[in-house]
Structure 1
Amino acid sequence: MNGKKILFVSSELVPYLPENEVSLMSYETPRMVNSKGGQIRIFMPRYGNINERRHQLHEVIRLSGMNLVINDMDMPLIIKVASIPRERIQVYFIDNDEYFKRKSTFTDENGNLYADNDQRAIFFAKGVVETVKKLNWSPDIIHVHGWLASLLPLYLKKFYADEPLFGDSKIVTSVYGKAFDGELDKDMVNKIAFDGVEEESIAPLVNPNYNNLLKVAVDFSDAVILASEEIPEDLKNHISSLEKPVLPYVSLQEFEEAYSNFYDTEVLK
């Protein structure tokens, strides 16, 4: 890992959000790479339930100010940063008042998925790529965690296919157990098609449920990590049908060597 550049893109991360499987591995994996001499960048959404004062978030003016087009609407991109003090790790936050100001992550106070979660996912994917372009930082590996980040592989391979900064980057998606019931907006497939992505690439998103979001993510990834013991059978079968490297589940206590070897011998080979 020494000297390798790894971009981590996650929908959740401790200590900014409560601990769960996604938020914990989204922290532990970059911490491991950092300790082995790798260079890292971490991106996550700036949800309204993240305490900016406690975590000392501040806006980076030189990276903010761009508008991203989401379903024919101009949406301002705001970039904030903070540091995880004990690890000296910097985290970049993708922000927009319309999408992320509300005081919870994915659902309203009644537990219903936000109606615009699909647009939030598109905005997050585009926001990460545009910010990394401004940083002019070319990652060797891009490692995706969590379903709200799951459109990133698709956008990198389709919408940003001609972007030279990512020409040699390898994409790894960590697949976790089922994260939500129900579906995102049925019109999601048309909003992605608006960006010039052909519909056959995103056919599963005609039914935009958790399994189908992750199917599209792994279809456009170079390698897959099974990050939960229990993966939905339908999703597991789809991953098994792909001819790409797959790392079976390993526990938190054993992941460091397994992930590091997987990066070195399967992803970067």
Structure 2
Amino acid sequence: MSTKKRILFIATEMSPYLELTEFAEVINKLAIKSNDSGLEVRCIMPRFGVINERRHRLHEVVRLSGINVSVDNDDYPLQIKVASLPNARLQVYFLENEDFFKRKQIFHDDDESWFEDNALRTVFFCKGALETVKKFGWPPDIIHCSGWMTGLIPAYIKTAYKKEPVFGNSKVIFTIGENTFTEKLGADFLKQAVINANIKEKDLEAFKEASNTALFKGGASFADAITFGAEKIDKKLVDEFAKVKGKKVVPFKGWDSDLTEYLELYNDLAGK
């Protein structure tokens, strides 16, 4: 049996598949550096329609098929595809759904209008990622979430999935990045985000504004550790989370950092 510590990256974006901010490249480097450092690494991200399946050699993982994800009283089929990260021996898993991720735009249509179902897409991705890990039967020691679309995952692990053995020893890191949208996820976001009986709307109070800042705030509130992943971060978040009792906080050290600060955090939280 492997004694390696396991780290799971759950990201909205990751180079070379999708690059919305500079942090996409950081996630790529972190995954490779973690793998090279002796950690067992897996990555999960949405399979947006702009990600070229042929170019990146994605293929369906048949053994993981058959998952349905229930969101807002509807069931949506989850298809899982996988690719090998270029120049690294590690797997990236892509979550796909015809309704939410097949379109050839990401969060806005061709007229720059915000998709009305971005809230449902977010809930589906966060729940789908955790259901995928359950299907793996692969308990991660560290779960590193990045990108606003992963904001609900720390909350879900501490509430909706707190009784799941696969997450029983998982420590969660959440990266606060730069704001990339000004719209809201809608008045029903909290109701839609309640995915089972172990979570209530009141548990999600930090997310109530349903804004980019709120997604970061909520994710950071439930995480065991926080990192700052950009130079330009909402000042309210910096003021609130730069020093938090009971949480390890890693400041942003520039785009040219060798990322050692992350490896130290992973090893610290994993108990090495």
TM bin (shorter chain):
over 0.9
- 1:109 aligned onto 2:110: yes
Greater shift after overlay, 37-46 or 174-183?
A: 174-183
Distance 2:21 2:179 in 1: 13
Alpha-carbon distance, 1:265 to partner: 3.1
The TM-score normalised by the length of structure 2 is 0.93
Greater shift after overlay, 187-196 or 63-72?
A: 187-196
Match of 1:60 in 2: 61
Greater shift after overlay, 235-244 or 42-51?
A: 235-244
Match of 1:137 in 2: 138
Alpha-carbon distance, 1:106 to partner: 1.5
Q: Which residue of 224, 228, 236 corresponds with 2:238?
A: 236
Distance 2:64 2:91 in 1: 15
Match of 1:207 in 2: 209
Aligned-pair identity (%): 38
Match of 1:33 in 2: 34
Opposite residue 48 of structure 1, the aligned amino acid is G
Match of 2:267 in 1: 264
Alpha-carbon distance, 1:64 to partner: 1.5
Match of 1:253 in 2: 256
SS where residue 85 of structure 1 aligns? Answer: coil
Opposite residue 174 of structure 1, the aligned amino acid is T
Q: Contact 2:149 / 2:215 at 8 angstroms: preserved in 1?
A: no
| CA offsets 1:122-154 (integer angstroms, 9 cap, x no match) | 111111111111111111100001011111111
Distance 1:64 1:21 in 2: 32
Match of 2:51 in 1: 50
Greater shift after overlay, 113-122 or 74-83?
A: 113-122
Q: Which residue of 213, 225, 228 corresponds with 1:223?
A: 225
Q: Please show how residues 16-31 of structure 1 align to structure 2 within 5 Å.
A: 16-18=17-19, 20-31=21-32
Q: Contact 2:6 / 2:141 at 8 angstroms: preserved in 1?
A: yes
SS where residue 80 of structure 2 aligns? Answer: strand
Greater shift after overlay, 107-116 or 233-242?
A: 233-242
SS where residue 7 of structure 1 aligns? Answer: strand
The TM-score normalised by the length of structure 1 is 0.94
| CA offsets 1:48-103 (integer angstroms, 9 cap, x no match) | 11111111111112102111110000100100011123112211001100000000
C-alpha distance 241-35 of structure 1, shift in aligned 2 (>3 A) = closer
Alpha-carbon distance, 1:204 to partner: 3.1
Opposite residue 263 of structure 1, the aligned amino acid is Y
Q: Please show how residues 178-189 of structure 1 align to structure 2 within 5 Å.
A: 178-189=179-190
SS where residue 104 of structure 2 aligns? Answer: coil
Q: Contact 1:211 / 1:232 at 8 angstroms: preserved in 2?
A: yes
SS where residue 204 of structure 2 aligns? Answer: helix
Greater shift after overlay, 19-28 or 211-220?
A: 19-28
| CA offsets 1:157-216 (integer angstroms, 9 cap, x no match) | 111110011111100001101121121122101112353322222123331001111111
Q: Contact 1:75 / 1:96 at 8 angstroms: preserved in 2?
A: yes
SS where residue 213 of structure 1 aligns? Answer: helix
SS where residue 41 of structure 1 aligns? Answer: strand
Alpha-carbon distance, 1:261 to partner: 1.4
Superposed CA RMSD in Å reads 1.7
Between Structure 1 and Structure 2, how many residues are aligned? 268
The gaps in structure 2 that reach 5 residues or longer are none
